[in-house]
Each structure stands twice: as C-alpha cells, then as structure tokens.
C-alpha cells in the first residue's frame, strides 16, 4: 500500500472521494512536487482513480463503502441536480445531503 493510500484510508473520506487539497493537508511539510509524486505512485499502483483534475477516489480495495454514482456526480460537478424521486428510489437521500453540506461553501 502506497503512503498516500494508507493516509487516505486512515482518514476515511466519505465514499472514498477526496480532492488534492486533502493531500496538501495530510502532507503539509512536503513540497508540491513530492505530493504529486505520492499521487503518481498511488495512481500507478491502481490504488487511486483520477476522476477529474484535482478529484480522486480510492479504489474498491481500499474504500470502506462503494460510492453511489449520484454521489460521484455531485463530487465531480457541484451542484448536481438529483431529483427527490431518484434519490428516494436509490436510497441515497441522506448520503447526498451529507455530501452536499460538506461541499457547500461556508457562510460568513
């Protein structure tokens, strides 16, 4: 298990999804190049999946729960519209609302 994967697994982000800012916070004393190298190694070892620039997901081997496609969509492009009926049918309403609160900008 790569260093980045172990740190993310211990952090256990919701649904295994995380951004590059989480890497910066986990390794504050390392240079940007060193953090990019950690990420590159985890990607090559197939322990992390790149969703978009700066947004990643742990693979199923290291993820405690498999992310629902609606949650991944909301993570990639926030705000994403998921109808109440779709979320109710899929049984992920609570998971989406918690995830939306985590992504919403803080009010001042």
| Domain extent listing, the chain | 3-58, 69-103
pLDDT above 60 for 15:
yes
Q: Which three-class secondary structure state does DSSP give residue 79?
A: coil
pLDDT in tens, 16-73: 899 999 999 999 999 999 999 999 999 999 999 999 999 999 988 888 778 878 788 8
Tokens for 26?
A: 């986990």
Kindly list the distances between the CA atom of residue 22 and the CA atoms of 38, 62, 108, in Å, as whole numbers in the listed order. Answer: 13, 17, 22
The answer, as to whether pTM is greater than 0.85, is no
Cα pseudo-dihedral 98, 93, 91, 22, rounded to 10: -30
Cα separation, 106 vs 11, whole angstroms: 22
Thinking of the domain 3-58, which architecture would CATH place it in? Orthogonal Bundle (1.10)
Cα separation, 69 vs 47, whole angstroms: 19
pLDDT for position 100: 55
């Amino acid at each position: 298990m790569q260093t980045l994967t172990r740190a993310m697994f211990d952090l256990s982000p919701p649904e295994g999804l995380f951004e590059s800012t989480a890497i910066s916070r986990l390794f504050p004393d390392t240079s940007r190049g060193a953090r990019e190298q950690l990420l590159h190694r985890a990607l090559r070892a197939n322990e992390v999946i790149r969703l978009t620039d700066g947004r990643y997901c742990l693979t199923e081997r290291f993820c405690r729960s498999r992310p629902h496609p609606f949650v991944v969509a909301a993570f990639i492009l926030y705000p994403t519209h998921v109808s109440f009926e779709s979320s109710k049918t899929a049984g992920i309403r609570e998971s989406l609302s918690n995830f939306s609160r985590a992504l919403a900008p803080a009010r001042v």
